[in-house]
Structure 1
């Protein structure tokens, strides 16, 4: 990282300490321009606030920083003098010191005990302050031979002295403990302690744990403007202590991210670098916490997500069901997967198939497959077997999540009785399920070429239909009725009344755009004897994308309203061109998802030749201005059209 400092000419005349150590490279420092300051807001005139520019690769960011003003160049090497800490004796005896002060019955006893101390150490001062606070909070009457004004003056003077002792100590933990106390007595002094800790951060005198603790305190109390403006100045401390960041504490730095604003990106870059260094050492619980933060800050980084994928693949064998459920759910919410994640889940499912007990885990894995359209036969077969073996104990509310992915992903489980057993169980639990789940499940049957007649009969009963008021569900039932009427002669339909008000179906904007761009190419291919029409919705069917044809190639004298498209003499004379978007395919980019497979099948049943064009291929050829290649691709696709 390069540091670019902006200072006014007046401040530039003073020596400025930039880092706590003296190893800051001059090659990384550049003085430019002019910058406004907020010295008038500072109580400590030994420091000044300004901003710097951080350059990391092609990214440049302006960040706040605190800079020490030195009166003598010697201070740069010597630093500030602090009272040495007494961790070996005083800190260990703190509870004894505290117990001694708790025996003081009033302020006079506290003052007397302080005067007996040969040296007031920070912990003695802290114990005395705590006892003064306790006495202030009690209703114990004051000693009669001391006037209230005298007590107040003495208390104020002694308190000031005690606070000076504490603030000069090298034991920063003592100051951090004071900041965390709820003492009303100390509340007016907390800003001074805050400044002192910040100054020590700038002087590079804190450990990484202390910096984390202080930053968490600031974040937890960010309603105070003083603390709020200090938070984003802490990045300097983290950069200085980056060599102390390891697999045991990186999660604590990630937990700080939600409280950061301007410095968030800088800390993220640092953590990304560290994550790539020792990802394989990170414990499971730590990675769970890191993923929580990713979700909380809406984090997206393919570099870090790929590292998580590698970690997941490496640690899949040590994950129990609850942990796998947690991680796979978070990855799904983060909208990330890769080959490593998929293969790791596949290994887990194959090795643990007979041991899986949680239906919630099965649902989470199926949700993962649905979101990323992963048609992994091994994963889906294990889920299918679990469903069949445990169908009677799986709650009705989970059945849609267990069944629908099979049809949607165009997958038939190995179990031959799968669909029959599923339908029987659905009939048994019919009254416990809602219409939305039941209609989606029925549609998933049809996607795969299975026909749940018993289930549909229950759905289409007049008594049940009167309970449905949701238009989306009614549209889905219309689609089920139409699909069964087209696909099977055993279905005595259509059973539902036709919707005579055909609602328009909007063609995807991406498809519209690419068709407009390649319209001339289409015209040159079909010739003068044929005509093309874009965005044709077949009449006399339900309003659904299934019956929307992206491009119809038809004779010129066919008519504008397509009233005779069902005529037998028109069989194979109409060509339906469908432009398949990337999300119309499973993750293998070859297999169409269930709704698109049904779309192709229905158009074939209706006597049309069906041509499938890949949107990605069309876009690539058009972008490359490859007109010959574009024409060849479309022409070959039309010539190889699937006849009805």
Structure 2
């Protein structure tokens, strides 16, 4: 009869805690270096010992438990240990378990070795004479004899002839590694399947050797996955030690790597329990190694992330730049940014405090990882702001500035110190900038609708560089660069002939993927339209007018806010025939950007009959601006939306801007909502007069 005990649920004490329960009696076991209990068998009862060690393979099971971490509940795998009946009885009494009693007896008699075991008779080869070895100094001698063995069989025979108390760690490691090194695959498979001496060697190896040695041998077995039985037995031993709390944090991290390399993925998921028990041992020196195992885990990853989120808050002030860099790489590789907000907050706090001590390489990597993980916060912005104030003219790495601008563009960070610092760097280093980076430099300024302090010098440098390197820059990037300047009402008239020609169009279509081509075409139409409406030197439009087209895609948030507040809109318009929704004027390209969310007009009016001269300032276009239409502070509209407003005014419409967040907040307060829309209507921007 046997019982399954869940160690991680603390249903019973594990074997390493026997000392606490049995005091001095269990302390007598300490000199015995066996990691795995063999029920106290003695050397004279080898057959019983081997059978007991074989059954250890069946002492491990697995189960799934529910673990709550904060508000989350997860199913996680754990190790299930099988204890004998007499062990369970001992837990409820003052008697020692049978295995511990046997080990205690052995420990008490370790100094009184029987006469017939005082020497060991070993043959280095089957045909050699017997060699008498002093048991006190036999380890080096045994290894020298093992070096002379030329086959695995002779090594196994020599190990089998030794008494158990002479099987020391170095001897077992040397014997096993040499067998793995000299024997071919078929012989090794045969040893595993039929050779009892090999099984005895492996059992002794797992019982005696420390965890570091087990992991080193497991690393060698990564390239010998056909040794399935040996790998499985070593992995079982490591899992048992993990369940008993015998592994350090570094050993757990190494074990996860070794298990995954040996394709023991299920076993790797069970080390979360050891990390949970040893969470207080996770410090500034080893925390990065715990992060590095996250990409290797799947089922237990969130649990480990939760453990790390708690620990990094305590250790982040002591982290070194290279450790932070490795942590960010691990989070990025594991694609777990959505689960590590606490960690990312700690990293940006660390960066804000230690920005003066971070070199360009580490800072570039941190910025890149944060952008890839779609994360930013005020601490990060403050750190980069301070860095650019102090070192903008001293930066040597152009890729660092590019990564900063990519982050600024992605998160719409309208920070004058950062952008001015980047512009100063570009003016200084323009001659050394790679042409492929020009788009990443220019586009954030246009998208954020920001003019640097050194405006004239900056844009003159851009124009000169683009003129020299025009043919070295991809066509899609050139379209983005020119469109960014148009956002700022800077018209690239010197490049019109080089873009709107047959050769450029052919190159654009041949070098752009089919997935990106529709978007690039739309940008070209926007560029053509912007120059036609706003640039008096442009003789356009040069692109054919689109007739019809696909249905424009409207954000569901805008549709919902219009439908939910249609009664207020109707009240402001006067009746149902005095407004229409989601219309695109015929004077503009048929695309999402130029969609008018709500158009107020005289009763029964249709856009088909609209005349931009005759009906100027008669129609009012109400635009609902989503949060992403603003910079990260929610204050300033991005360049694309400002251009949208200008173009609607150029065709004779009044324009009203409504904030989506304000409409959402006031949806439950009808009177305040009506007053908000009415106030914005009274502040409508008038149409722009022609030729202005």
TM-score, normalising length from structure 2?
Answer: 0.78
What are the equivalent positions in structure 2 for 1:20-419 lying under 5 Å apart?
Answer: 21=17, 44-65=57-78, 66-70=80-84, 71-72=86-87, 73-74=89-90, 98=143, 101-105=146-150, 108=154, 111=157, 119-137=166-184, 156=195, 158-169=197-208, 171-182=210-221, 188-222=229-263, 227-299=264-336, 300=338, 301-415=340-454, 416-419=456-459
Q: Report if aligned partners of 1:16, 1:69 keep a CA contact under 8 Å in 2.
A: no
1:435 to 475, 484, 489: 475
2:370 & 2:140 partners in 1: Cα distance?
Answer: 47
341-350 or 245-254, larger mean C-alpha shift: 245-254
Q: CA deviation at 1:504?
A: 4.2
Q: CA deviation at 1:43?
A: 5.8
Q: Report if aligned partners of 1:218, 1:230 keep a CA contact under 8 Å in 2.
A: yes
Q: CA deviation at 1:273?
A: 1.0
2:161 & 2:13 partners in 1: Cα distance?
Answer: 41
Alpha-carbon displacement from aligned partner over 1:601-637 (angstroms, at most 9, x marks no partner):
1222222221000011111111xx1101111110111
Q: Report if aligned partners of 1:404, 1:444 keep a CA contact under 8 Å in 2.
A: yes
Q: CA deviation at 1:130?
A: 3.3
2:12 to 3, 8, 17: 17
Name the SS for the 1:316 alignment partner.
Answer: helix
Name the SS for the 2:328 alignment partner.
Answer: helix
1:115 & 1:388 partners in 2: Cα distance?
Answer: 80
1:630 and 2:625 are equivalent in the alignment: no
Q: CA deviation at 1:281?
A: 1.3
1:421 and 2:465 are equivalent in the alignment: no
Q: Report if aligned partners of 1:533, 1:553 keep a CA contact under 8 Å in 2.
A: yes
Q: Report if aligned partners of 1:505, 1:537 keep a CA contact under 8 Å in 2.
A: no
2:468 & 2:225 partners in 1: Cα distance?
Answer: 65
Q: CA deviation at 1:562?
A: 3.4
Q: CA deviation at 1:521?
A: 0.1
Are the structure 2 counterparts of residues 477 and 42 from structure 1 closer, same or farther at C-alpha, using a change threshold of 3 Å? farther
2:563 to 503, 516, 521: 516
1:22 & 1:108 partners in 2: Cα distance?
Answer: 39
Alpha-carbon displacement from aligned partner over 1:455-506 (angstroms, at most 9, x marks no partner):
1222123443454434543332222222112113232322333334455433
Name the SS for the 2:392 alignment partner.
Answer: helix
311-320 or 493-502, larger mean C-alpha shift: 493-502
Are the structure 2 counterparts of residues 179 and 417 from structure 1 closer, same or farther at C-alpha, using a change threshold of 3 Å? closer
Are the structure 2 counterparts of residues 152 and 529 from structure 1 closer, same or farther at C-alpha, using a change threshold of 3 Å? closer
2:250 & 2:265 partners in 1: Cα distance?
Answer: 20
Q: Report if aligned partners of 1:535, 1:548 keep a CA contact under 8 Å in 2.
A: yes
Partner residue, 2:114: none
1:108 & 1:67 partners in 2: Cα distance?
Answer: 36
What are the equivalent positions in structure 2 for 1:438-453 lying under 5 Å apart?
Answer: 438-453=478-493
Q: CA deviation at 1:186?
A: 6.5
Greater share of helix: 2
The gaps in structure 2 that reach 5 residues or longer are 21-53, 108-134, 510-516, 688-692
Q: What is the aligned length?
A: 597
Alpha-carbon displacement from aligned partner over 1:203-259 (angstroms, at most 9, x marks no partner):
22233322322222112112xxxx333222222222222222111111222222233
1:210 & 1:13 partners in 2: Cα distance?
Answer: 22
TM-score, normalising length from structure 1?
Answer: 0.84
